Amino acid sequence: MKVLFAGGGTGGHLYPAVAMASELRMLVPNAGISFAGTVSGIESTEVPRLGYKLHLIPVRGLKRGDFLGNIIANFRVLVDFASALGRSVALIGREKPDVVVGTGGFVSAPLLLAAQLTGKKTLIQEQNAFPGVTTKLLSTLACEVHLSFEEARRFIVKKKNVFVSGNPARSFEPQNGKAARGCFGLSAERPTLLVFGGSRGARSINNAVLQRLGDITASGNLIWQTGALDFERIQKEVAPSPSVWVGPYIEDMGSAYSAADLVLCRSGASSIAELTNLGKPSVLVPYPYATGDHQRYNARALLKNGATLMIDDAELGEERSVKNILELLGDAEKLKSMGAASRALAYPDAARQLALRIISLAKTH
């Protein structure tokens, strides 16, 4: 069995594919697994590091907006896409995959289309509640479409073989909360807020936390992943305290989640999958410039089920918003009910179930 994963650019597109590939390795040890990606995406370093073969396809994404410069640039993108499609057809001819799996990103479109044009089986895995352009356009010809949110189904024209399977995410072993807080040098008894915005950080979240740091530490502990770009600036502003752990990156994210009573973060698909798998209550701040505003759709999916509090990016630093967060942090019963609602949305075995669907497709003729 040979499987080609097409997707990348960002970790949100790559890591679900990596999770599925890892499950395939366990289920079918002799499976031939490879990836296609771009030289500029995260996959260019991560895929070889993880021991998989990577095929590079030069392709660029469309520029958003109707500015003249963007329109001209998009003509070039279309020319590049035609070239990428030809390279993709050639790659599929050489590799002869049984299934091509698309997880989004610039490179998934030409690979999926090439596979569909050459009669190969294709499976699309969509991470967000508002599907990307590739999913919406190419899902009609895919053998199977797997969504992470039920809310995404209404955007898919195809109605048969469309499943809600969840988003493959990192798994963490739950730990004792008090012991986990000790790992960060924090008081075991105080309620704890975990804040992160990805490896690069989220500046608006960082600024709001810094502005209201005194209020936060008066109410509980803070575990704060600033991201690399803001860490030096913030470190200078934060005095050593038994109520605060601050760093550019959290190596042991499992302990951080276990230590936290409430999580404040963006509403990227991978973060939401981790939150729901662990049954964590959250305050979600959608990134306002996400393509198609998809992070807002993700957050709304949790909000309508009572699993989160959603705050607009522009309102995060307001006194009212901070008051709402801190009131929630101190409300153990509300946190418990939100955590249960969060866990009800979980798909902890998403990677395995998707791997089984890939195997099933590979076996059909």
Percent of all residues in the chain with a pLDDT value above 90, rounded to a whole number: 81
Which residues, 6 or more positions from 122, have their beta carbon under 8 angstroms from its beta carbon?
99, 100, 101, 102, 112, 115, 116, 138, 141, 142, 143
Tokens of 270: 């991978």
* pLDDT tens readout for residues 206-246: 999 999 999 999 999 999 999 988 999 999 999 999 999 99
Has residue 68 got a pLDDT over 50?
no
User: Which pLDDT does position 79 carry in this prediction?
Assistant: 67
Which residues, 6 or more positions from 78, have their beta carbon under 8 angstroms from its beta carbon?
none
Question: In 3D, which of 100, 106, 116, 55 has the Cα closest to residue 81?
Answer: 106
Which residues, 6 or more positions from 138, have their beta carbon under 8 angstroms from its beta carbon?
102, 109, 112, 113, 116, 122, 124
User: Which pLDDT does position 83 carry in this prediction?
Assistant: 86
53's enclosing H/E stretch is strand 53-56
Has residue 132 got a pLDDT over 50?
yes
Question: In 3D, which of 261, 270, 273, 275 has the Cα closest to residue 334?
Answer: 261
- 184: helix, coil or strand? coil
* pLDDT tens readout for residues 28-43: 999 999 999 999 888 9
Phi, psi of 89, deg, nearest 5:
-60, -45
- 108: helix, coil or strand? helix
* pLDDT tens readout for residues 88-106: 999 999 999 999 999 988 7
Cα–Cα dist 112/116, whole Å: 6
Q: What is the DSSP letter of 230?
A: T
User: Which pLDDT does position 362 carry in this prediction?
Assistant: 96
Has residue 297 got a pLDDT over 50?
yes
Has residue 61 got a pLDDT over 60?
no
Question: In 3D, which of 24, 10, 46, 16 has the Cα closest to residue 273?
Answer: 16
Cα–Cα dist 162/173, whole Å: 31
99's enclosing H/E stretch is strand 99-104
197-13-22-359 Cα dihedral, nearest 10 degrees: 150
Helices (H) and strands (E) in the chain, counts: 15, 13
The CB density around residue 322, as the number of other CB atoms within 10 Å, is 19
Cα–Cα dist 89/187, whole Å: 58
**pTM for this predicted structure:** 0.90
* pLDDT tens readout for residues 154-206: 999 999 999 999 999 988 988 999 999 999 999 999 999 999 986 667 999 99
Cα–Cα dist 125/130, whole Å: 13
Question: In 3D, which of 94, 130, 91 has the Cα closest to residue 112?
Answer: 91
**Residue 109 is which amino acid?**
A
**Residue 343 is which amino acid?**
R
Which residues, 6 or more positions from 173, have their beta carbon under 8 angstroms from its beta carbon?
254
User: Which pLDDT does position 41 carry in this prediction?
Assistant: 87
